[in-house]
Structure 1
């Protein structure tokens, strides 16, 4: 029998709470749901008004992993959905607005991925994103070096980026922008990535070609495209361990850049497990709260 819980007046069906999703650590589905409920206050503002793609892994990362972009069958009628433009035609997607919807979505066992625009204005980018992905033997330490360069470069244009771990090997930088299309955001981000490669030729590559990436950091600017999504801050990733895409401060980024230390174990360096993130939220609050302040968004240079 599937247990039913009430969340803010909504009846939410929960299933297989004892299922182990991460065999290496024994982390269960029930613990995953508890994590999301615990960080909901800081996570929901970053999900609100954004169409969500789910990278589902119902039997854990060792099992089948697949993307769900359109509204899944059986979605409760009280979960908000929105019609969004797609190249192949409009699609209806989930928009996670409240705790009940977050708990329902977490029961699907999924990473949360969002676009760089809100559903009310899909033709306007409100986020600028850089995904820093290290090619072995480069690590997150090299990503942090590149992030520091990007922070200084963006500051020259009046743009203030915020950093988070990818929850895998790399780092994500996002900034609040306004008054531009996704195409304009992509063009700007590509230009900055090319500059980074010229300034740090032994460390950065701006092209996706795998053969160019060994020992370097790929500065992926392409996630600014309207159709692309990025792992949402605070989401747990479908990796070998239950690492979280967690906000980090620039002081932490600087310390990691100077360490040169490999991050090979869960919880090491800038790798955070759910319990680490819960503790950090209690201590620091939401390090990404400034991204939600409309007064901090800036126009890209023309």
Structure 2
């Protein structure tokens, strides 16, 4: 059931920062040098970028890459739930629980409360959101800020066929868990809006702690898909005589920002009287590069 309203004249314009010329930076370089360079160019998702680039170029993955990827994703989710979103909601930022990266139980109890596990059923998720345990108060505040259908976008979930093309698809943490029964019920009740997207981090955290994140995939020679903190990270690369001859990457942010994509549709379903929630919405959607939202004249 879709709650999205028809796209109307947007009140807020999306102004993304210029994209870096990634291909130009690596084409012509030795494959190993290119694989080392890319993660250093970007502060975010370094482990995901390194894994995707190495897989696409036919290089072996570094020792301990899986633990590094899980830690990277878990750190990003904890920062949103304990620091960024609470500060934006006026609750005051705290800090991720001390020792989260050494003891899975510490992170699980801090996020989920005494149960130390993600709610498995629609009823359990509803109970958790009302419990006051763990990060439930943060998610409950997000749910209270946006009514049913507000700031929602209902698009096809990203697939191996669409991952390498910037198009209007749902490439997010929520896409990774769209079939989870509790999240599916949440989407049916409230729409694919901020609460659905924020609550999906619960299940990604559980996957990081349990080691059940989807494995990287190489759907075609020279192509690689790797789970990342914001969705599915995709790279296509070619090499000849040990040097990169072609390179392209598509990030979750690329899908987020395309015309008709999740950000544009979410803004189109945000009521004018709630325009002040746009910064919170943007932080929940979480682009990995700077994006400005500019108010447009009605004339």
Same topology, TM > 0.5: no
Greater helix share, 1 or 2? 2
Which one has more relative contact order, counting CA pairs under 8 Å at least 6 apart? 2
TM-score normalised by length of structure 2: 0.29
Which structure shows the bigger proportion of residues in strand conformation?
1
